[in-house]
Amino acid sequence: MATRNELIKKRYFVFFVLPLLAAFTVGFIIPFIEGVWLSFCRFTVIDNASFTGIKNYISAFGDKGFRAALWFTVKTALVMVLLINTAGFVFAVILTREIKGTAVFRTVLFMPNLIGGIVLGYIWQIIINYVLSVVGAPLLALNSTAGYWGIIILMCWQQIGYVMIIYIAALQSIPDEMSEAAQIDGATYLQTLFKIKLPMLFSSIMICVFITLTNAFKLFDQNLALTSGEPAHATEMLALNIYNNFYARPGLMWRGIGQAKAVIFCIIVVMIACAQFRLTKEKDGEYNE
Amino acid sequence: MKMKRAGYFFKSFITAIAVLMLGGCTNLHKPSVYYLNYKAEQDEAWHRLAKEYTERTGIQVDIVTAASGNYETTLMSEMGKSSAPTMFQIQGSNDVQNWKDYCYDLSKTGIEDELTSDVYALKSEDKTVAVAFTLETYGIITNKTLLEKAGYSADEINSFDKLRSVAEDITKCKDELGFCAFTSAGMDESSAWRYKIHLANMPIYFEYRDKGINTSDKIDGTYLNNFRSIYDLYINNATVKGSELAAKTMDDARNEFIGKKAVFYQNGSWEYNALTESGAFSDDELMMLPIYCGTENEENQGLCTGTENYWCINSTVMQEDIDATVDFIKWCQTDPYAEKFMAEQMGFVCPFKNAEESKNVFMKQDDEMTKKGYIPVGWAFSTSPSYEWNNTLGSALTKYAASGDDDCWKDVEKCFTAKWAEEYELLKEG
Amino acid sequence: MSKKEKSIDLFFTVIMTAVSVIYVYPIFAIFINSLKKESAIGTNTVFKMPDTQTFAGLANYSDAVSAKGFIPAFLLSVFITVTSVAALLVFCSMCAWYIVRVNNRLTKLIYGLFVFSMIVPFQLVMFSLSQTADRLFLNSPWTIWLVYLGFGAGLAVFMFAGFIRSVPIDVEEAAVIDGCSPIQTYFLVVFPMLKPTLISVGILQTMWIWNDYLLPTLVLDIKKYKTVPMLIQYFRGSYGSVQMGPMMACIMLTVLPAAVFYLVLQKYIVKGIAAGAVKG
């Protein structure tokens, strides 16, 4: 691939990458390093942090609630990623067929993204509780199964439109000639879709899976508003567990433990992401050399 | 050629950033006050009072309100900034643990001397770290008109047994009367604090009273049966079934009370504006009953009076700003205009020597009762080991409200006995 | 189009209509409640249409707009959103192109860092972010775009890089042969080809920044500046009381421009842009 390196000389790094890298350093790298440092400290605010070693990590691992939250998050995230991406993809395919009302449907499916998570959480809480009381089941605050599915339904409702946008853009950047050629060769619609288009969408699918996965792991607003972890922390996800460390207990050590949990959480997601990228690499050799 | 263009762009980018940064540095420091306020209700009034102060003294007073739920995050972030709040709020002794290093000692400023009683100052070691600025009281808010319709008068209710017989009688005839005894004891996050914090005060307070202590890392639970009786009374005589309480909000309960669907409503003096502003109630129609729960000598029991509103001064800002803030607080405590403003516009009942009398019906009633010799119930709930403890209690109470069975009540009891001690252990580590 | 395909399309239209109803309903619920009186908004009454007794007209809207300084906050939110999204689109797409086309260790590392930033929970960086921004004087509306650029770069670079990988390199090579500098190649050839991605990234970032509460609260000088999501929080008082009416009205007022913006933009995700550009 000699041509590529001739295409842009490396010195253009200054123009293309450096401005963003500077902002990224300020907006992410410095705060991140400080955040990791704080996970080894006891602090009120950053200025008075005092180093305490790995004490915070020991407490974090010893916290039963944290382990439970971790497991609950994994359980929720996997189902969510699967449902959101399948549905988002199906809707994107339907809405690129240019059926009647496509413009309206696209808008409507995206609408949940226009409103912040907290408010949507409250609205869905009322709706789900209403349905539960009609069927005579225990309400959300007493019913961890309903809480689990409630979070999944809420997130599907909100994120299907999000990934749909990405899938639609990707589907539409596939040249028409390709599917036309396939159809001339006698391929059916579904064959064209799965054999020709799906492989071309591979990078988009990976993008969407990764985005939905990280969103699921970082989920906070909706969790807080819909169940706030009730009953008794049974529906508490990681971010909420970390947040509760900051607020639910007095004593400065808890802030450091919260930071430590966040670091542990990062490491776990990195491991999952690496596994995902390895999968991607095997299947997608031509793009990642 | 191309390289030059890129280099030029880069240079101008850096210059732009440098110019922006310098712009921030040029203003000289003038003493000023920056108050991070917790109650969104009073935000507008604080802005007006601050403006008045600036007009009189020329000292800039900035007011920022971080609504509940976001206060601690905002405080943590603002305290780390170069222009940190000079004055902030804490809620009680648990917050002192977290913020004592940032609290300026108020004992020598004269601020503490303006308090009507020592109990309104929070101390840490030998420092006075915070002073209360408004008192509140809670109990069972009663709609007198409806109570009379049901054939009773508020004066006859002076014990738990009497309260129960009235409530149960109203429940019996609720269809004819068209209203219930109690508003929904909602256990949604917006409303659950009325039970997991305020009602839970009763067993803690009475146990402390018997032992003659103010705080403890162990609760025996001597008064848990009383706690159960009053909670049962609330759920069994309410507008909705116990199983529905889990989802009921603060707004639901308030709307029921305003809509005259129920006679009794456990809440506090802070509700006064919400109840009277809309024109739903006149002062004469409202009164507050003590939360009777069947303890000895309860005919002398008063309302639950205390505070969760304390001012602190940030000790880490420049001395000029600290001095300016001390002056501002003193002005709020002593100036007749400020006193009047805080009483009338903000509805505060300030524990200051020169404080203006409040128009708040419930606070006035509390004052009268105390003068007549009723003994106010203190806010012992502020000694709870953590908010985590209150949440655990909330979950247990919600579960009990839905089922009403003894097993669920055992979880509530465990909360007081085992969980309280457990959380205190963790507190010691922290 | 064959008859069979037509009936399939009709079937899809019916299905999508049903799905749409489920999708719109919660938002519709916010809308009808924004027209009700405070005392008529509760968990029992939330589904009820306003009647003569509970209908508040536009009172909640006028409360939201007049009493709480809605208009300055609105303009500020618009300004912050526009500058931040513009910066994100330009700088991130540029960076992503370089990273994809110059494939060496350094760019791989940088790309890895960007992707990593997507994983990190906000709670881990929020306090240090607010202090870093404060120290570098990035706490004004004129400069907060730099923070958004840095913090939002991960998602944007990740998406751009993904799409640029699937864009054939031929056109760019042709441009270089025609004598274009890399900067010209990028802005004249690559940037226009990225249009569908620019729009989808633009939409997603706009929705994030427009609705973002926590980051501006932590970063901005809150003594002087308030955005709309910060304003909405003011309807939430102490002791669990929430002014639901004005709050719902305020939410509707923020949804409206976002919806219009989305409608206008999504029209431009049109078919075959890349197809037209890449022949052969």
Question: In the predicted model, is pLDDT for residue A289 greater than 50?
Answer: no
Note whether C121 contacts A266, CB cutoff 8 Å. yes
Structurally, what CATH architecture does the domain formed by A64-248 represent? Answer: Orthogonal Bundle (1.10)
Question: In the predicted model, is pLDDT for residue C183 greater than 70?
Answer: yes
Q: Model confidence at C89, in pLDDT bands (50, 70, 90)? A: very high
Q: Model confidence at A54, in pLDDT bands (50, 70, 90)? A: confident
Tokens 């001095």 correspond to B323
Q: Which domain does B423 fall in, by range?
A: 137-305+371-429
Report yes or no: C234 at the B interface, CB cutoff 8 Å: yes
Report yes or no: C264 at the A interface, CB cutoff 8 Å: no
Which amino acid, B155?
D
Is the peptide bond prior to C192 cis by the omega test (within 30 degrees of 0)? no
Question: In the predicted model, is pLDDT for residue A286 greater than 80?
Answer: no
B8 part of a folded domain: no
Which among C25, C127, C195 is the top mutation candidate for probing chain A, defined by the most A β-carbons within 10 Å of its own β-carbon? C127
- Give the count of domains, chain B: 2
**Contacts of residue C212 in chain B, CB cutoff 8 Å?**
none
Same domain? For B345 and B222 the reply is no
pLDDT at B1: 40
Average pLDDT for residues A76-92, to the nearest whole number?
A: 92
Q: Which phi and psi (to 5°) does residue B88 adopt?
A: -140, 175
Average pLDDT for residues C30-56, to the nearest whole number?
A: 79
pLDDT at B13: 52
Looking from the CA of A123 toward its CB, the CA atoms found within 13 Å total: 28
Rounded CA separation C142/B184 (Å): 49
Considering A93-102, A235-244, B202-211, C52-61, the range whose residues carry the highest mean pLDDT is B202-211
Average pLDDT for residues C245-274, to the nearest whole number?
A: 74
Note whether A112 contacts C27, CB cutoff 8 Å. yes
Rounded CA separation B156/C99 (Å): 81
Q: Which of B2, B189, B193 sits opposite C181 (nearest CB)?
A: B2
Note whether A125 contacts B247, CB cutoff 8 Å. yes
The ranges assigned to domains in chain A are: 64-248
CB B327 within 8 Å of CB B113: no
Closest CA of chain A from B346, distance in Å: 28
Q: Model confidence at C271, in pLDDT bands (50, 70, 90)? A: very low
Closest CA of chain C from B145, distance in Å: 20
**Which CATH number fits the domain that encloses residue B414?**
3.40.190.10
Question: In the predicted model, is pLDDT for residue A178 greater than 70?
Answer: yes
pLDDT at B402: 86
For the question of whether the overall pTM of this predicted structure is more than 0.95, the answer is: no
Rounded CA separation B387/B93 (Å): 12
Same domain? For B232 and B105 the reply is no
Which among C218, C239, C248 is the top mutation candidate for probing chain B, defined by the most B β-carbons within 10 Å of its own β-carbon? C239
**Contacts of residue B138 in chain C, CB cutoff 8 Å?**
none
Average pLDDT for residues A108-132, to the nearest whole number?
A: 80
B121-124 and B60-65 strand pairing = unpaired
**Count of CB atoms situated within 10 Å of the CB of A133:** 17
Considering A262-271, B82-91, C239-248, the range whose residues carry the highest mean pLDDT is B82-91
pLDDT at C277: 37
pLDDT at B289: 92
CB pairs under 8 A between B and C: 114
pLDDT at A140: 76
Same domain? For B255 and B314 the reply is no
CB B179 within 8 Å of CB B166: no
Same domain? For B313 and B345 the reply is yes
The residue among C154 and C232 whose pLDDT is bigger is C154
Closest CA of chain B from C158, distance in Å: 24
pLDDT digits (tens, 9 = 90+) for C99-154: 988 888 888 999 999 988 988 888 888 888 888 888 888 888 999 999 999 999 99
Same domain? For B105 and B235 the reply is no
pLDDT at C120: 86
B361 part of a folded domain: no
pLDDT digits (tens, 9 = 90+) for C154-172: 999 988 998 888 777 888 8
Q: Tokens at residue B292, please?
A: 């009777």
pLDDT at C46: 73
pLDDT at C68: 67
Give which of B359, B358, B186 is closest to B262, Cα–Cα.
B186
Q: Which chains contact C through at least 3 pairs of Cβ atoms less than 8 Å apart? A: A, B
A50-51 and A41-42 strand pairing = antiparallel
Residue A205's closest chain C neighbor by CA?
C162
CB C124 within 8 Å of CB A219: no
Same domain? For B72 and B157 the reply is no
B19 part of a folded domain: no
Residue A251 Rama label (left phi>0; alpha psi -120 to 50; beta): left
Rounded CA separation A243/C173 (Å): 51
Note whether C237 contacts B80, CB cutoff 8 Å. no
Closest CA of chain B from A245, distance in Å: 9
pLDDT digits (tens, 9 = 90+) for B346-368: 888 888 888 888 888 898 899 89
Residue A125's closest chain B neighbor by CA?
B247
What value does the mean pLDDT of chain C take? 83
Closest CA of chain C from B21, distance in Å: 6
Q: Which chains contact A through at least 3 pairs of Cβ atoms less than 8 Å apart? A: B, C
Average pLDDT for residues C265-279, to the nearest whole number?
A: 49
CB B339 within 8 Å of CB B357: no
**Contacts of residue B2 in chain C, CB cutoff 8 Å?**
181-183
Question: In the predicted model, is pLDDT for residue C25 greater than 60?
Answer: yes
pLDDT digits (tens, 9 = 90+) for A190-249: 888 887 788 878 878 888 888 898 888 888 888 887 887 778 788 888 888 888 777 667
Looking from the CA of A217 toward its CB, the CA atoms found within 13 Å total: 23
Same domain? For B187 and B249 the reply is yes
Same domain? For B255 and B383 the reply is yes
Q: How far is CA C193 from CA A197, C91, C187, in A?
A: 19, 16, 10
What value does the mean pLDDT of chain A take? 82
Q: Which of A1, A27, A124 sits opposite C146 (nearest CB)?
A: A27
Burial bucket for residue C67 (CB in 10 Å: 0-12, 13-18, 19+): exposed
Rounded CA separation B153/B149 (Å): 9
Same domain? For B178 and B314 the reply is no
pLDDT at B54: 94
Q: Tokens at residue C27, please?
A: 């938002």
Same domain? For B321 and B348 the reply is yes
Question: For residue B213, what are the contacts with CB-CB under 8 A and spacing of at least 6?
Answer: none
Question: For residue A166, what are the contacts with CB-CB under 8 A and spacing of at least 6?
Answer: A88, A204, A207, A208, A211, C159, C200
Residues of chain B falling short of pLDDT 70: 1-28, 430
Which among C223, C226, C234, C242 is the top mutation candidate for probing chain B, defined by the most B β-carbons within 10 Å of its own β-carbon? C223
Q: Which phi and psi (to 5°) does residue B248 adopt?
A: -75, 140
Identify any residues that bridge with A41 across adjacent strands, giving them in sequence order: A51
Delineate the domains of chain C, giving CATH numbers in brackets: 3-57 (no CATH), 67-277 (1.10.3720.10)
- By 3-state DSSP, what share of chain A in percent is helix, strand and coil, each rounded to 5? 80, 0, 20
* ipTM of the complex, rounded to two decimals: 0.83
Closest CA of chain C from A171, distance in Å: 9
Q: Which of C9, C119, C267 sits opposite A273 (nearest CB)?
A: C119
Give which of B287, B261, B119, B270 is closest to B194, Cα–Cα.
B270
Helices (H), chain C: 3-34, 59-62, 70-101, 105-119, 122-135, 144-165, 170-177, 182-184, 191-193, 195-211, 214-219, 228-233, 244-266, 273-277
Closest CA of chain B from A252, distance in Å: 6
Same domain? For B328 and B419 the reply is no
Same domain? For B147 and B250 the reply is yes
B14 part of a folded domain: no
pLDDT at B216: 86
Q: End of a domain among B323, B352, B381?
A: B352
Q: Which of A23, A161, A273 sits opposite C146 (nearest CB)?
A: A23
pLDDT at B337: 92
